């Protein structure tokens, strides 16, 4: 019997979990975090499943592992692991992981208050404010984000014909705004949104095969998240969303890559200008502050560099073991 032990630090970003694997992560090969992500998926995905799925995790569990940077000018690399897979980029995971790393002394930035973070989706520049030991907030400039397609359609067995846009913010999002057959997320339960999303995501990727591939990294492909929109809760909020990911999860945070994708959508439609605050609410009412930092291009298309600002809190420390003779060593899901 072989046992692998992982020292983990658990936190949440605006309500959504982040489990940082502080010790026990595998050695990965690759010239950058994108190649290392592929090595992880090929050889070590059992770690993700074992730590994220039940019985050691749950449907909403997200996590991360730190690595030395490929380029010494940067501070560190990061791998994102969660129930939905090994993501190219994760916004709430970035905010939570940086908070954990600074507060626990796992990160030693070259410039205090600033971190150059290598992600599988590309370089992300991070700022944070610290009071004593505590990190008050984390803000990151995300990878270039852009509207991919607009006014596509799909048939839902539950809702009928739905019109949606696809936008990229580190992952590909199908964004479903209020319309004839969908009055807004406020009129549906999270259970209903999850049920709709499973069917719709599969249908989108079946109907539009090879349509959603990142122009600079073909390993980033297909719609992985469904973003439902609707009425806001707080008077200061710009917009509200509920993001479906994995097979049974609605993001409790406003979702960093989802917020980036939505800002790219709004900018392309003339609804958001550079420098304007985009206060994005989650399903539970927690907020990220987004902003377009720059309008740029990517492969001859208009893109934006979005920033996302939020907070996280550490709530626990775990030493988790996975025994290879455990029938549920790689976890399970009950859907």
Enumerate the active-site residues: 90, 255
Phi, psi angle pair for 24, to nearest 5°: 115, -5
Please report how many Cα atoms fall inside a 13 Å half-sphere around the Cα of residue 263, on the Cβ side: 37
Beta bridge partners of 66: 78
Count how many residues are written for the chain.
335
Cα distance between residue 217 and residue 197, in whole Å: 26
Place of tokens 């410039």: 111
Query: Helices 256-268 and 91-103: crossing angle, nearest 10°?
Result: 140
Beta bridge partners of 245: 249
The pair of three-digit structure tokens given for residue 165, joined into one six-digit string: 């846009």
The pair of three-digit structure tokens given for residue 239, joined into one six-digit string: 């917009």
Other CB atoms within 10 Å distance of the CB of residue 46: 15
Cα distance between residue 99 and residue 293, in whole Å: 22
Cα distance between residue 304 and residue 270, in whole Å: 13
């Amino acid at each position: 019997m072989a046992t692998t032990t992982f020292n983990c630090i658990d936190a949440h970003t605006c309500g959504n979990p982040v489990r940082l694997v502080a010790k026990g992560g595998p050695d990965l090969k690759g010239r950058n975090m994108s190649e290392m992500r592929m090595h992880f998926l090929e050889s070590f995905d059992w770690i993700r499943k074992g730590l994220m799925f039940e019985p050691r995790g749950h449907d909403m569990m997200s996590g991360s592992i730190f690595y030395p940077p490929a380029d010494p000018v940067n501070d560190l690399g990061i791998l994102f692991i969660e129930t939905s897979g090994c993501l190219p980029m994760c916004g709430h995971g970035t905010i939570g992981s940086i908070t954990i790393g600074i507060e626990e002394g796992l990160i030693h930035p070259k410039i205090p208050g600033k971190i150059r973070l290598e992600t599988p989706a590309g370089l992300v520049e991070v700022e944070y404010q610290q009071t004593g030991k505590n990190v008050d907030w984390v803000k990151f400039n995300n990878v270039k984000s852009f509207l991919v397609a607009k006014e596509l359609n799909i048939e839902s067995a539950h809702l009928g014909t739905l019109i949606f846009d696809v936008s990229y913010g580190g992952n590909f999002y199908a964004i479903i705004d209020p319309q004839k057959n969908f009055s807004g997320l406020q009129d549906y339960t999270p259970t209903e949104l999850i049920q709709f999303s499973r069917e719709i995501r599969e249908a989108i990727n079946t109907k539009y095969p090879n349509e959603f591939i990142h122009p600079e990294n073909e390993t980033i492909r297909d719609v992985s998240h469904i973003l439902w929109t609707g009425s806001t809760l707080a008077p200061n909020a710009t917009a509200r969303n509920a993001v479906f990911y994995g097979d049974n999860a609605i993001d409790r945070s406003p979702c960093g890559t989802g917020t980036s994708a939505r800002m790219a959508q709004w900018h392309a439609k003339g609804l958001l200008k550079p420098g304007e605050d985009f206060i994005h609410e989650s399903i539970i009412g927690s907020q990220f502050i987004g902003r377009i930092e720059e309008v740029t291009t990517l492969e001859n298309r208009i893109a934006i560099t979005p920033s996302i600002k939020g907070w996280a809190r550490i709530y626990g420390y775990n030493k988790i073991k996975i025994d290879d003779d455990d029938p549920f060593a790689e976890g399970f899901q009950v859907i």
